Structure 1
Amino acid sequence: MKAFKRRLSTMKQAQDASIDLNHADTTIQAFEDESLPPVTLHGYINTTRNRLLSPDICDELRNLMPTRIQLYSDWHLLYSLQQHGASLQSLFGRTASDKAIPARIGYVILIEDRKGGLFGGYCNEPPRPSDSKRYYGNGECFLWRLERVASVDLGDGKPRTGENDGWRFRGYPFTGLNHFVMHSTAHYFSMGAGDGHYGLWCDQALETGVTNPSLTFGNECLSREGAKFHIVNLEVWRVG
């Protein structure tokens, strides 16, 4: 009789444990299925016609951001070439005056070239001038670009791209091969380096830039113009 009661007790414990596990699985699944809140963009003025950022691009960028940053739904425009003038000093000044706590937020850089290419980077710290040898930033940073997707003819005379608006997002996360994440002076801003090449480099007038494959991010050339590009528009956003 005692043995039978022990078996019943054991079966009850196993059943309770199974219920707890099932509840945990349901809770985890519900959390995983919960979509991120939609992004709200703050900072564009009515006269700014050429706007680089859209909620669709935000969603792509969020996929590569740290989880704590993904949850932020308010993005704030800190610098716009069209709204604040073409000057690296102006960019540094506006990011330096931001009072947010850097460890809790992120920064997105968007650049448009003469061929309509759109690319940039994500930074865990705001762009700022540093001394000539010091790099900053960490492994949360990455480079990215939007590339045109070739259309496909399925035989019905209607070309299809397979992607929304004929564009595909490509991200280049930190590789760990070196720590040349971010570097800037009063004369330029850069992300990624190695073998004498910058992943992304912009001059002090924000007129021209350079992009090459870098060891830091394992990226390809980001601009549709090639290794050397002209800056038509540039924006910096605070995420959070």
Structure 2
Amino acid sequence: MSGLRVALVTGAARGQGAAIVRRLHADGFLVAACDVLGDDVRETAAQYDAGTVLAIPLDVTSAEEWDAAVTEVVGRFGALTTLVNNAGVLHRAAIGDETPTGFENSWRVNCLGPFLGIRAALDHLTAADGAAVVNTCSTGAVRAFPNHAAYGSSKWALRGLTQVAAAELAPAGIRVNAVFPGPVQTPMLDDATQARLVAQAVSGRLGRPAEIADAVAFLVSEQASFITGSELVVDGGQTLQIG
């Protein structure tokens, strides 16, 4: 991989997404930080030198907003070589309490959003040298967790989308992989949930956002140039536990 490297990262306003922006920027990428939280993502981008990180408000469930975001990125930076579909929502409910709206919203953000992103970026990724896509999946797509019907099934669908995209886009030189974070210390988990997960963790702690960012940075790098369709679990041993 050589030349200009430009990454678009969703869910970039805080937590894991902000850590991915930080790591890719440190690795020399120009980065478009995208999030539905427009004010927050602008604050994230303001931490960097002007012209190296671009803040773009983006609802990943909107095809029109995806097209506009990609157009803005390419217009500002001249290319798009890397896509990190990190935006997601964690929604918990027992099956008997789940609603069609709650279920569908999880699928729209967690699976439809990455599909729309890949589709919107496809022509530019095809034209890029060393193009890569990373989807943020979940250990919820490795094993079943009660009260996660909407979240878990949407992440299983994203796992499948990753595999299909990897197979279909390999001839175009586009690598597509996924990271599977376990419990990570981010605003997505409230304090009580974090305490419960720490008590259960074989590693004795939660993951740090930077540790997920490190995995993403590897998968989009030239060191991973022969890796596509891979599922990189970063969970501190969570999936080793049974029951």
Is the TM value for this pair above 0.5? Answer: no
Structure number, greater radius of gyration: 1
Q: Which structure is higher in helix share?
A: 2
Q: Which structure is higher in strand share?
A: 1
